[in-house]
A and B are shown apart, each in its own frame.
Chain A
Amino acid sequence: MPIKTDNFATEERISPIRGTKRRNLDPAFRRLTMICGTLILLAVAGIFFELVLESRPSLEKFGWSFLFTGSWNPVTGEFGAASSIYGTLVSTLIAMVVAVPMSLVIALFLVEMASPGVRRLVGGAIELLAAIPSIIYGMWGLFVFAPFMADHVQPFLTETGLPLFAGPPMGIGMLTAGIILALMILPFITAVTRDVFTLVPPVLKESAYGMGSTTWEVTRKVTIPYGIQGIMGGCFLGLGRAIGETMAVTFVIGNRHEIALSLFSAGNSIASTLANEFTEAADPVYLSSLVELGLVLFGLTFLIQILAQMWLKRVRKKMGTGT
């Protein structure tokens, strides 16, 4: 229930105790909080505006072909975002393919199977994965996980003979980056899915159990269909995280401006290109191309955020848990 504040917003009030006129600070206070809130609005608008403004030289020179050109050559001044966009999408896709099913079953474990003590411990530990700074994932990925992949995982994948797994097992590359991203977004999707699972009315589940369903059948036919919108929202939140993740990816993706089919080959992402090259860009077109890459990334996360909010809002409305 909102409180109507206007009732109290008289310009001056008489203090009943001292009987003197006191200046009413409420309108000023209200204005102060409003200004602070509006700053957030301005920040988002400012980011969009400044990115467009600074990427104008590149926008004018390359136009739409910027998005589809693969070459990235600071020497000749030719810039195209295709390899960075490709790398961003592929590494994010790998992350989602790994993280979404895993988050679902972990949430299932936490909600339907674990005892309260186990739930708190395991749930808390999974959430800690989100607290580890991304540069730590990068260090661990480069020095520990990539060699592990090269020695123990990639040779087996190569034996499948698929073109996706062709090439020398270097450890670093798209696949390793994608798996590390999956670990990083796992806690976000798990948290949302877990909340959605607990929000499903017990009556629905109990009636399914009452008809003799097993836990899995209840989950598949009652819980998931009921909470699918919330789960979708959670997936989009994770997607938004993965697509803009910088440091962990920069460490392990290999940083090469090329598009290759094999997931073992080195590539780059928008964020890793920015992290590696931004301070080196002396030429105005080079710099503005980098800013335009940033604009593309910002646009992508913006879209994803809108979709995430849309799904989450729907599920909140449906489950009646306030705003």
Chain B
Amino acid sequence: MKERSFIFRRLTDLLVRIISALAALVGLFFLGWIIYIILARGAAAINWEFFTELPAPPGMPGGGLANAIAGTLAMTVFAVLMGVPIGMMAGVFLSEFGRGSRLGEWIRFCTNVLMGTPSIIIGVFVYVVVVLSTGNFSGYAGAAALALIMLPVVTRTTEDMLNLVPDALRESALALGAPYWRVTLGVVFPAAKTGLITGTLLAVARVSGETAPLLFTALNSTFWPDSLNEPTANLTVTIFNYAMSPYPDWQAMAWGGSFLITAGVLSATVLARGILWMRSKNR
């Protein structure tokens, strides 16, 4: 190996240190830039009407995104109702019954694949399966797509969190004569409660900001969602349509919607991480 002078080596080291600190700063800078823009442009569009009124045609003053907010909430709730129980049960299988089994390995692999599948592909799949067979775009199709995105995330979190619960706890409950289902639901779940709640919160946060899977499942609408069996207004697709429109007041509305989505998603994420951090500190 070539002999290098001490000063040269120290200088290289210093240079790398400066570059890494700068890179971290660049990352922070972009985060700050995006949040600042969303705050500055979005807050201006938020007012009372924004939450209570239907969208106004371009050029008309006033109007809001109340229907889109309601639609997004409704679809997210339905997605949670479908995705979370199934995901948790699948997580239970992986952590309690499927450890080391062939089927468990396959399910774990498919969970990872599903997690890595682009959300637009989930949209295409749900379009083909639900929209084509029912014949219309619907809020249910949108909720199904969101649930499918949430499913692997919930499964993985549940498995990880249940794996953290010591086996001794299971064994002592079993030794008392409790059947396994009661051990799981009555002992292991409560022990992993915080992790499960925060994991689900993160999954919900992630899904509520999704746009691509809704583009051709829930579509969009300018009316109140009477039922989820019709094209359903939602915030993210509305943002997309309004942002791409040539009307400044619609673009302003899109910024308002972005503000709302970002605030919701980021606060849920920060809350979940905060809870996890507090817990790890207490241990």
Q: Which residues of A contact B (CB under 8 A)?
A: 1-3, 5, 8-9, 13, 16, 24-26, 28-30, 32-41, 43-44, 46-47, 50-51, 53-54, 102, 105-106, 108-110, 113-114, 120, 122, 124-129, 131-140, 142-144, 183, 186, 190, 214-217, 219, 237, 240-241, 243-247, 250-251, 271, 274-275, 278-279, 290-291, 294, 297-298, 301-302, 304-305, 308-309
List A contacts of B111 (CB < 8 A): 40
- Chain B 229-282 residues near chain A, CB threshold 8 A: 236, 239-240, 243-244, 251, 254-255, 258, 261-262, 265-266, 269-270, 273, 277
Contacts of B73 in A (CB 8 A): none
Which residues of A lie under 8 Å from residue B179 when comparing CB positions?
Answer: 8, 13, 24-26
A215-B13 contact given A125-B28, A131-B265, A302-B113, CB 8 Å threshold: yes
Are A44 and B19 in touch, CB under 8 angstroms? no
- 8 further interface pairs, Cβ-Cβ under 8 Å (given A132-B34, A244-B120, A278-B127): A36-B89, A43-B114, A114-B24, A136-B258, A246-B118, A246-B119, A247-B211, A275-B120
Contact (Cβ within 8 A) B124 A294: yes
Q: What residues of A have a CB within 8 angstroms of the CB of B44 in the complex? A: none
Please choose the segment from B45-53, B58-66, B169-177 that sits at the chain A interface, where 4 or more of its residues have CB less than 8 A away.
Answer: B169-177
Asked if A5 and B121 make an inter-chain contact with CB atoms under 8 angstroms apart, the answer reads no
CA distance A281 to B184 in the complex (A): 49
CB of A181 to closest CB in B, whole Å: 12
Nearest-Cβ distance from residue B44 to partner chain A, whole angstroms: 14
Contact, CB under 8 Å: B19 / A43:
no
| B135 contacts A by Cβ under 8 Å | no
Residues of A within 8 A of B254 (CB): 139
Interface contact B26-A214, CB-CB below 8 Å: no
Give the residues from 80 to 118 in chain B that come closer than 8 angstroms, CB to CB, to chain A.
85-87, 89-90, 92-94, 96-100, 103-104, 106-107, 109-114, 116-118
Once A122-B28, A133-B211 are accepted as A-B contacts, the answer to whether A33 and B90 lie under 8 Å apart by CB is yes
B211 touches A134 (CB 8 A): yes
Q: How far is the CB of B222 from chain A (nearest CB, A)?
A: 16
Closest chain A residue to B274, Cβ basis: A124
A-B interface pairs (CB < 8 A), number: 275
Report which of B103, B122, B148, B216 forms a contact with A34, defined as CB distance below 8 A.
Answer: B103
Which of A26, A108, A135 interacts with B180 by CB under 8 Å?
A: A26
The answer on a CB contact under 8 Å between B107 and A40 is: yes
A residues less than 8 Å from B10 (CB atoms) = 214
Q: Determine if A34 and B97 form an interchain contact, defined as CB atoms under 8 angstroms apart.
A: yes
Choose from A40, A110, A127, A250 the contact partner of B110 (Cβ within 8 Å).
A40
The reply to whether B94 and A128 form a contact with Cβ atoms under 8 Å apart is no
Min CB–CB distance B258 → chain A (angstroms) = 5
Q: Find the A residue at minimum CB distance from B152.
A: A40
Contacts of B128 in A (CB 8 A): 50-51, 53-54, 291
Q: Is the CB of B269 within 8 A of A128?
A: yes
Q: Are A214 and B12 in contact (CB under 8 A)?
A: yes
Q: Determine the distance from Cα of A302 to Cα of B116 in the docked complex, in whole angstroms.
A: 8
- Who on chain B is nearest to A110 by CB? B24
| Minimum Cβ distance to chain A for residue B172 (Å) | 12
Q: Indicate whether A133 sits within 8 Å of B124 (C-beta atoms), given known contacts A30-B97, A36-B86, A102-B23.
A: no
Interface size class of B (residues with CB under 8 A): 35 or more
Report whether B19 and A247 are in contact in the complex, using a CB–CB cutoff of 8 Å.
no
Determine which of A32, A138, A275 lies in contact with B215 in the assembled complex, contact meaning CB atoms within 8 Å. A275
Nearest residue, chain B, Cβ from A187? B27
User: Which 9 interchain pairs have the tightest Cβ spacing?
Assistant: A244-B118, A133-B209, A36-B89, A33-B93, A29-B181, A214-B13, A109-B20, A105-B20, A246-B212
Chain B interface SS verdict (over half): helix
- Does B205 sit within 8 A of A, measured CB to CB? yes
State the CA gap A3–B13 with chains docked (Å).
Answer: 50
Nearest A residue (CB) for B261: A133
Please tell me if B129 contacts chain A, counting CB pairs below 8 Å.
yes
Which of A36, A53, A294, A302 makes the CB contact (< 8 A) with B93? A36
Quick one: which of B85, B106, B211, B269 contacts A246, CB cutoff 8 A?
A: B211
Chain B residues with CB below 8 A from A108, complex form: 16, 20
Q: Given that A40-B110, A136-B34 are contacting pairs, would A244 and B181 also be in contact in the complex, using a CB cutoff of 8 Å? A: no
Distance, CA A34 to CA B103, complexed state (A): 9
Given A244-B117, A251-B243, check contact A32 B89 (CB 8 Å).
yes
CB of A122, distance to nearest CB on chain B (Å): 5
Q: Which residue of B lies closest to A141 (CB)?
A: B34
- Best-surrounded residue of B23, B99, B206 (most CB of chain A within 10 A): B23
Distance from B263 Cβ to chain A, minimum over Cβ atoms (Å): 11
Partner of A36, one of B12, B90, B210: B90
| Residue numbers in B under 8 Å from A250 (CB-CB) | 240
Closest to A25 in B: B181
- Which of A1, A106, A138, A301 is within 8 Å of B23, CB to CB? A106
* CB-nearest residue of chain A to B100: A2
Q: Which residues from chain B contact A302 at a C-beta distance below 8 Å?
A: 113, 117
Chain B 24-39 per-residue mask, 1 if CB under 8 angstroms from chain A, else 0: 1011101101100110
Cα A167 to Cα B155 in complex, Å, equals 48
A128 to B205 alpha-carbon distance, docked (Å): 12
Q: How far is the CA of A220 from the CA of B36 in the complex (A)?
A: 37
Name which residue of chain B comes closest to A127, CB basis: B273
A40 to B107, CA, bound (A): 7
Q: Is residue B167 contacting chain A, with contact meaning CB distance below 8 A?
A: yes
Closest to B9 in A: A214
User: Cβ of A29 and Cβ of B24 under 8 Å apart?
Assistant: no
What are 26 pairs between A and B in contact, CB < 8 Å? A1-B167, A30-B97, A30-B180, A33-B89, A33-B92, A36-B85, A37-B103, A38-B103, A40-B110, A47-B117, A51-B121, A109-B24, A125-B27, A136-B261, A142-B243, A241-B116, A247-B212, A271-B212, A278-B215, A279-B215, A279-B219, A294-B120, A297-B118, A297-B120, A304-B116, A309-B109
